[in-house]
Amino acid sequence: MKHPSMTRIRSHFEESARLANDLLGDATFLDSMEKGADVLIDALRKDAKILSCGNGGSMCDAMHFAEELSGRYRDDRPPLAALALSDVSAMTCIGNDYGFDQVFARQVQALGRPGDVLLAISTSGNSSNILEACRAAKAAGMHVVSLTGKGGGALRPMADVDVCVPWSGYADRIQEVHIRCIHSWIDAIEQALTQG
């Protein structure tokens, strides 16, 4: 007899696999992935930089994206200009003085330049501090690439490219796809900038 927890564990893997399989047949999703890769690659080719941000698990994804570019992913190559807006002292200072909605926007205003890219990650697409960061990025002449879910929320129309996971359930499935998107983009960037 199966242990009850094993049935629940197995259901997580099955649900995740179904979503991943569905995405392979989703032309809209795959097209947005390709467009997102093009924006990121083009910026780095032009010596621009990528800033990334998110909340909670999405912040972890934003940090992972940036460290894999400034460090390395699979193969040794020169470091690439990417920075997560994750400095705790900056976030608490800005949050205390200007409010939590501004914790990313102020950093974008300080660091963003025309031609740079903001990678904005929000499973709902409605995180107010992410939306403020996108407004700041647009005002600075930056491009915005977003990773969202649940229809993309208010973030979707603000982005130059929005990769929206077509899922309306719990955010964990969306986050699982987001990290796959991030790894795919990093690989595409490495291949394009070191071999293309």
Contacting residues for 135 by C-beta, under 8 A, at least 6 apart:
105, 158
What pLDDT is attached to residue 2? 65
Q: What is the mean pLDDT of residues 61-85?
A: 96
List, for residues 108-119, the tens digit of each pLDDT value. Answer: 999 999 999 999
What is the average pLDDT score of the chain?
96
- Say if residue 130 is exposed, middle or buried (CB neighbours under 10 Å; 0-12, 13-18, 19+): buried
Least confident window among 4-8, 37-41, 141-145: 4-8
Contacting residues for 84 by C-beta, under 8 A, at least 6 apart:
51, 52, 53, 59, 62, 63, 65, 66, 67
Question: 79 to each of 75, 111, 152, how far by Cα in Å?
Answer: 11, 18, 31
Spatial separation of the C-alpha atoms in residues 28 and 147, rounded to whole Å: 14
CATH number of 27-195: 3.40.50.10490
Q: Where exactly are the structural domains of the chain?
A: 27-195
What pLDDT is attached to residue 45? 97
The HSE-up count of residue 34 (CA atoms within 13 Å, CB side) is 7
The HSE-up count of residue 164 (CA atoms within 13 Å, CB side) is 21
Q: What is the mean pLDDT of residues 97-124?
A: 98
The pairing of beta strand 82-84 with beta strand 161-165: unpaired
List, for residues 136-174, the tens digit of each pLDDT value. Answer: 999 999 999 999 999 999 999 999 999 999 999 999 999
